């Protein structure tokens, strides 16, 4: 059975203003659609790996939910190591860090205009980070606003 650790991080609109808001036929600016996004981490049970040497692994999925547009998910992939939420920086909506035996991966969900882009960066403890690669993107509705998520009970 898989253990499920949902990475909940605060979200903010990052980057410069994208310009004036669109107006409706009546000349009114439509209300911004509220959206939330995160990186979901599902850890594998040791029996699920099917390997002689049991390494910790986790499946990472980008998740976006908007109040009117509904939900979208995009599989990021399976990472080796112990994966946990990491601090975000400017423009970064969510970050997960996976680490095992001197190496790992940083996975970030970055807002770029009306998209949430998934960026994966391999990291080696001796050489440091390698070149990042973009794995895909989830669209956001026009004029959307990202709102903070909090863990249950907060």
Tens-of-pLDDT digits for all 154 residues of the chain? 344 444 433 333 333 333 344 444 555 556 888 999 999 999 876 555 555 567 888 999 999 999 999 999 999 999 999 999 998 888 899 999 999 989 999 999 999 999 999 999 999 989 988 999 999 999 999 888 887 664 333 3
Rounded Cα distance, 146 and 148, in Å: 7
What per-residue confidence (pLDDT) applies to 47?
A: 56
Rounded Cα distance, 96 and 42, in Å: 12
* SS3 assignment, position 2: coil
What global pTM score does this model have?
A: 0.72
């Amino acid at each position: 059975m898989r253990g499920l650790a949902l990475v909940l991080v605060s979200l903010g609109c990052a980057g410069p203003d994208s310009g004036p808001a669109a107006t409706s036929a009546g000349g009114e600016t439509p209300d911004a659609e509220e959206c939330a996004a995160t990186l979901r981490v599902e850890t594998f049970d040791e029996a699920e790996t099917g390997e002689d040497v049991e390494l910790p692994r986790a499946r990472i999925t980008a998740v976006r939910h908007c109040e009117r547009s509904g939900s979208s998910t995009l599989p990021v992939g399976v990472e080796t190591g112990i994966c946990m939420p990491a601090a975000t920086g400017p423009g970064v909506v969510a970050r997960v860090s996976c680490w095992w035996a001197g190496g790992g991966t940083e996975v970030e969900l970055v807002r770029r205009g009306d998209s949430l882009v998934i960026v994966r960066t391999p990291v080696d403890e001796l050489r440091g980070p390698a070149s990042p690669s973009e794995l895909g993107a989830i669209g956001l509705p026009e004029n959307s606003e990202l709102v903070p998520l909090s863990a249950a009970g907060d």
